[in-house]
Chains A and B, each alone.
Chain A
Amino acid sequence: MIVHIKKKDKENKNFEGKINLSRRDFTSFLGGFLLSGCADSRKEIIYSHFNDPENSIPGNSVYYASTCSECKAGCGILAEVREGRVIKVEGNPDDPFSRGGTCALGQSTVQGLYDPNRIREPLERMEVQDNFGRTIVQFKPITASEALSKVATAIKNSNKRYFICDELDYLNQTVVEAFCSSLNFNLAQYQPFNHSDLQQAAYEVWGIDSTPSYDLSNVRIVVSFGAEFLEYWLDPVKFTKEWAYLRKNGLVYHYQFEPRCTLTGSKADNWIPLKPGTEAFVALALLKIILKLKKNNVELPLKLINQISKYDEDELISISGVKKDIVYGLASSLLVNTPALVLGGGVQAKGVNKIQLEKICLLINHCLGSVGQNITADGIKFRSNFGKVRAFLDEIQQKSDGKAIILLKGQFASWVPNSFALTEFRNMVKPGLIVAFSDILDDTAKLADIILPLNHPLESFSLNFKGGKMFLSQPVMIPLYKTKPLGEYLTILGKALEAKSAMFKVNNFEEIFTNEFTKFSSVEIKKALEKGVVDVVNTKKTSLTLRNDISINLNFDEYVKHGQKHKKGDKEVKLIPVGSVKAWDGRAHNRGWLLELHDPISLVCWESWVEISPKTSKKLGLKNRDIVAILTNAGGIECQVVVNKMMMDDTLAVPLGIISDSSASLSKLVKKSNSFKIFKDPETYEVVNLKITKIPTNKRGYQSQVTKSEEGRELIRVKQMYPNFSTVDHDHHSEHHAPKDLYNQREHPIFKWGMVVDLAACTGCSACVVACYAENNIPVVGPRISAQGRRMSWISIHQYEKHVGENKVRRVWLPLMCQQCNNAPCEPVCPVYATYHNEEGLNAMIYNRCVGTRYCANNCVYKVRRFNWFEYEFPESLKLQLNPDVTKRGVGVMEKCTFCIQRINEVKSRAKKEGRLPKDGEIKTACQQACPADAIYFGNLNDSTSLVSKVSNSDRGWKILDEYVNTKPSVTYLADMFFKV
């Protein structure tokens, strides 16, 4: 058309600026203009690599072995890398401990890497005046060399040097220690969720300087005094793996003593509530009864036996409020059922007697003969010592003349009680130069004069040790920003300041990594990095022999006081801290996946809560979801009430780690209710002057479930069994017969994908939920939209409280995802065929075709369909995490689980290329892969030899709601079971 016009122009010799346009051309132009107006004005840029990264084939994933650095357990992980960017982490099956399992926190690690609040370059504090004369703090980017030289000068000129730091991995720890000792830094380390008390106890009992490592793989009975070993206690993924195997095979009795039922407690065969802080008393009574039963025929030092014999076991038990015969019964069954393990500790048991509790537990294990067999010396090392941190902070506040230098790493602004006034550090006192090492710009980092940004662990080298193995971390992608690992900064500083340590006689940090690696391993480093885990050579086996000077001194003060008050009829309400799998100690507070995840126990997402037993809530005049203020001598918080049946009366439980960080993009949306601030002393978590008052407001808290009860419907199955799997009959399920079908069922010629979820193994840890978010590009919607019941999680953990036997409530976790019904109610009602049944038995979704009538979601009896009420935008940096195999859904579109159809297709096409069918177990859904308990099975139901077919035929198997609605789900649940003890 344009050519045509040009021609015309040439012909028209009288063309003098006049537009000579024919009617036809005019209309053509008009049409063109109209069309150009319809163009999408949004920019679309497709980047591609000039040079592809090593091994990278566009469209294929490369997996790099590394080590998770979220907690000290350090499970082996595989980082899935697509086109040079990490998109997901999965458990490393070569890790002999976690064996491919992960936890919710570990799954969220990629969100830490792509955190929108990551600091992109070194920053320097600037205080400027705004137009109104107010002082505004700004952070100005500077170069790393500039920043480091400033720090180096400051160190040179300082008279006092402090390094306050959280727990570190082995490699960085080594560098930090060398740095501090050679440059006279006072080092104090602290992380709220630590196991220093266990380590201290192990030291006092055996003289070792690490926590012991526990092996549950063959135990017959596990007794836990508050230790949440399936959640965040020591090495939860490993324990879950081992425990779940035993559970599925009916091999383990599980006792849990704790004031408020944790996830671990809810899986126990016998959850025994006791008064907060009395775990040590019951444990000591247990020890004494065992000694009695064994007629003191044990290897404990005589002095200790004498000391223990002074305590009266009945009095000890009566303090705790536990029934006597339970403890006696437990003692005798511990002697019969060996090997046995007794674990102690946990967040709730962090009272004044916490070290005594750990010691007693270790001693019980000694008496049971588990030490040396199931308990070995090569555990994880902790350095947390709050006392030291407190001493330093006091010293800085009182004595500093402004010439001190403080290196800061960790979230101390959130972790340290208000009384330390850490946040007012700068204003109140002259602390000197503060240098923060941080990966995200949070409140702690903002205290600093200079911020040195850290690499994410997925961008750096590191080493870790556990159970005689060395775990390697490696950079799985090029650092996103101008950041360095902690060790590298210190190496540069150490070299610049000519530190005496031999550690710094290297060229760079990587060299330290190689040196340290070769110290412990003879394997070629590249091979080791491929595997992620290698054996440590030349390790001496430390045998655990008892020290002679063990003594047990329980602190009775509080309980004597408490007992007296008790007699007067004045029951004091006690506040205890608890943990949550979604938060830990708040170390990952700015990750949307974890913020949006609901705590499986309290069902609260995005905010904090306080748990109260029904009786106590009645006494205090509080109802579920009321908003209350809790005031203590240290501070106050505002949060919602969660009435929890499974906890001690006269106890309030607040979760630690639900942090609102005013500098972080997401966690600033959390209501300010940081529970760390209401405990004056994080060593004992004791509280005085506790007040709880209802806030007069119309607002109510949001919980993901209206009720935890079945409302009289027989939906969930629980079986009490003898260990030989014969049922103890109180399963009242009348057998419903599925209604007859009018039509023949559709045939699925080759594949019929199916899933089995073993509720007996499911601990509710929620790793599957986070894994699903990561795999399927599920958006995080924020607190306000979440509270409207619009969260997008395709799989979610539902909680049911089921009455089993006399007055016994058992919590059952129901991980609910799309059931891929063969009689799917959602399918016929879609007017546009956006959802349909495919030939492999999946209830597939065509997102592009969906018009958004939402009829399918209404008609879904499981309510597992999720609707995009808004256009959810991912923050720019988090877009890098998106899985390219899964489309991002726009506004007005329904979405849901399709058994990770992208993974099915990937394996199918690979198999097709190789001229075979997918092998059983070759396809793993994201939830299945993440599950530390192996509670999820997936495979082809048409293949009668596949694991999933075999498991689905279990006696415990049932299909939820099928008997009522005849939906014929492809997911079989195996009834929860607990054993009669």
Chain B
Amino acid sequence: MASTDSKLTYALVDKLVLDTLKPPTQGWYVLFSIILLLLGLGVFCWTYQILNGIGMSGKSNPVNWGVYITTFVFWVGIAHSGTLISAVLYLFRAKFRMPIYRIAEAMTVFAVLTAGLFPIIHLGRPWTFYWLLPYPNQMQLWPNFRSPLLWDVFAVSTYLTISSVFFFVGLIPDIAAARDKAQSKFRKILYSVASLGWRGDAEKWKHYSSAYLLFAAFATPLVVSVHSVVSWDFAVSVIPGWHATIFPPYFVAGAIFSGVAMVLTLIIPLRAVYRLHPLVKNEHFDAMSKLIIVTSCIVGYAYITEFYIAWWSNNKFERYQFWFRPFGELAVNFWIMFVCNVILPQFLWIKSLRTNIPFLFILSILINVGMWFERYNIILQSLYRDYLPSAWGHYNFSWLELGILAGSFGWFGMWMLLFIKFFPSFAITEIKEILPAPTRSGGNSEHH
């Protein structure tokens, strides 16, 4: 293949990827400790909040949602691009997905794990969260199937199930590869169990590839559905700035946008630390940058459409809301969002910047800051100024919420770091698929 480095051999792929599983270095431990500290902070804050009441967060009467729902939507958004990259691009046979999809899938699963916590953290009585599930009970109480929050429960749990299964199925051949190379007894057992007895014979491959295709087909609609459902949390309501039909596509585009940025944020340091330059190459960054430009433009278009429609609707409440966003009390938040999500990604039209790794790294972080603020804007701005001016109010930002937000990164980071050390974070088999077949002269003696 033209895009593949001719020096990259099957053996090298194995070595590069399986080297990531070697015992952790000091640096890993330092990072892991920081991550655990963040997680600890989050756990402390949540415990404190449960003991003292949800009022420890900054919400008030008109602004009943805040950082938690923002963070929930943020993580669901992050979770998006994993499935997009692995399933959708798989179906479209886009080759550039090969080296990055594993990390994107891991990110998806862990981001959903993180996102799923937030609706519970946000509850006034978190100990009753299971009342949202339609479990049979003596009182014959059922949840309200008309509520978008219930749809959320199904959307997120479905997404978690499908993406974990898809993730795991994709891992099987690679775990088998790791098993073959494993040294310690623990890892041997772990990989033997997890690889489900994979032997790599033709029959297994046959079943495997059709199963993988099936899961990819299953997962693809979820890319659209999950974030559409999450967007209905807002779109189904009657609040100006929320009640908009544009929300599902707008949210899906935003989710892919933030997800791709997050993949960049994760893969750049990983590549640097494990010297994976032969695997993840400039052309991959170039492709992802293009994806970012596209989604950024869609998101920017959605922002502008919102303003246009607010004006066009001639609805006083909508018009006020969209005047308030860029010029009101919370204008800073709006402009952070707008600059990070719409203005900055435009630099990627310059070809050299698309492969400029430091630039991409910083940009990817800024995009996620912007995307977090996008949700923060939608939630706060609309609740600040809805229908009755006499009932308008404000949000009292609380440090505890920031602690829990930091904790969510700790939680996500913990899974991510453990994953990198325990499972191959790059798809060995799929990368090999796109390598030229080994020849005698090439010295590729190892078959798989």
Contacts and interface: CB of A to CB of B under 8 A. Distances in A.
A863 B61 contact: yes
B245 to A, nearest CB: 16
A705 B62 CA distance: 11
A893 B64 CA distance: 12
Contact of A866 (B61, B119, B393, B394): B61
B237 A892 contact: no
Interface in B364-412: 383, 386-394, 396
B77 interface: no
B438 interface: no
Contacts, number: 174
B54 A852 contact: yes
B386 A863 contact: yes
A832 B392 contact: no
Interface stretch (B125-133, B273-281, B299-307, B351-359): B125-133
Nearest to A852: B124
B59 interface: yes
Interface string B98-134: 0000000000000000000001001111101101100
B387 A870 contact: no
Interface string A863-874: 110111111000
Contact of A870 (B52, B126, B233): B52
A785 B268 CA distance: 46
Interface in A806-858: 814, 816, 825, 828-833, 849-855, 857-858
B212 interface: no
Nearest to A861: B387
Interface stretch (A244-252, A299-307, A711-719): A711-719
B447 interface: no
A698 interface: no
A870 B53 contact: yes
B238 A850 contact: no
B136 to A, nearest CB: 15
B386 A854 contact: no
Interface in B303-332: 315-317, 320
Interface string A951-962: 000000000110
A788 interface: yes
B55 interface: yes
A711 B320 contact: yes
A893 B125 contact: yes
Interface in A660-709: 705-709
Contacts of A789: 60-63, 393-394, 396
Contacts of B148: 829, 855
B37 interface: no
B15 to A, nearest CB: 51
A763 to B, nearest CB: 17
Given A854-B124, A965-B238, A862 B59 contact: no
A724 to B, nearest CB: 32
A799 interface: yes
B144 interface: yes
Contacts of A830: 144, 147
A698 to B, nearest CB: 14
Contact of A800 (B53, B320, B387, B390): B390
Contacts of A857: 61, 64
B390 A869 contact: no
Most chain B CB within 10 A, of A853, A857, A870, A961, is at: A853
Contact of A853 (B142, B149, B239, B389): B149
Given A799-B390, A832-B131, A863-B386, A713 B316 contact: yes
A831 B60 contact: no
A858 to B, nearest CB: 5
Given A854-B64, A870-B55, A894 B389 contact: no
A710 B55 CA distance: 30
Contacts of B208: none
A798 B388 contact: yes
A816 B61 contact: no
A859 interface: yes
A891 interface: yes
Given A851-B124, A867-B61, A892 B54 contact: yes
Contacts of B442: none
A852 B123 contact: yes
Contact of B393 (A706, A869, A870): A706
Nearest to A848: B128
A722 interface: no
Q: Is the interface of A mostly helix, strand, loop or mixed?
A: loop
Which of the listed residues A708, A867, A894 has the most CB atoms from chain B within 10 Å of its own CB?
A867
Which range holds the interface residue count of chain A? 35 or more
B150 interface: yes
Contact of B61 (A790, A798, A852, A960): A790
Contacts of B129: 851
B143 interface: yes
A870 B238 CA distance: 27
A790 B236 CA distance: 26
Interface size class of B (residues with CB under 8 A): 35 or more
A833 B389 contact: no
A825 B317 CA distance: 16
Nearest to A781: B55
A26 interface: no
B141 A965 contact: no
A29 interface: no
A595 B132 CA distance: 39
Contact of B124 (A825, A859, A861, A894): A894
Nearest to A965: B238
Given A829-B237, A854-B64, A868 B124 contact: yes
A800 B391 CA distance: 11
A481 interface: no
B7 interface: no
Contact of A892 (B124, B389, B394): B124
Given A799-B390, A831-B144, A863-B391, A858 B383 contact: yes
A964 interface: yes
A960 to B, nearest CB: 8
A864 B387 CA distance: 12
Contacts of A828: 144, 146-147, 236
Contacts of B143: 831-833
A701 to B, nearest CB: 13
A851 B131 CA distance: 8
B65 interface: yes
Contacts of B150: 831
Given A829-B148, A964-B317, A816 B60 contact: no
A785 B126 CA distance: 22
Interface in A712-762: 712-713, 715
B153 interface: yes
A855 B389 contact: no
A37 to B, nearest CB: 16
A828 B146 CA distance: 6
B144 A891 contact: no
B149 A707 contact: no
A237 B149 CA distance: 48
Contacts of A708: 390
Interface in A876-927: 891-894
Contacts of A854: 59, 64-65, 124
23 contacts: A705-B390, A705-B392, A706-B392, A707-B392, A712-B320, A713-B316, A715-B387, A788-B60, A831-B147, A832-B144, A850-B124, A851-B123, A855-B149, A855-B233, A857-B61, A862-B391, A863-B388, A863-B391, A863-B393, A891-B53, A892-B54, A960-B388, A964-B317
Interface of B: 52-55, 58-65, 119, 122-126, 128-129, 131-132, 141-144, 146-150, 153, 233, 236-239, 315-317, 320, 383, 386-394, 396
Given A707-B392, A829-B236, A961-B387, 15 more contacts: A706-B392, A790-B60, A799-B390, A814-B390, A829-B146, A829-B237, A832-B144, A852-B124, A855-B65, A855-B148, A857-B64, A863-B61, A869-B55, A891-B54, A964-B387
Nearest 6 A-B pairs (CB), nearest first? A852-B124, A892-B124, A869-B55, A789-B60, A863-B391, A798-B390
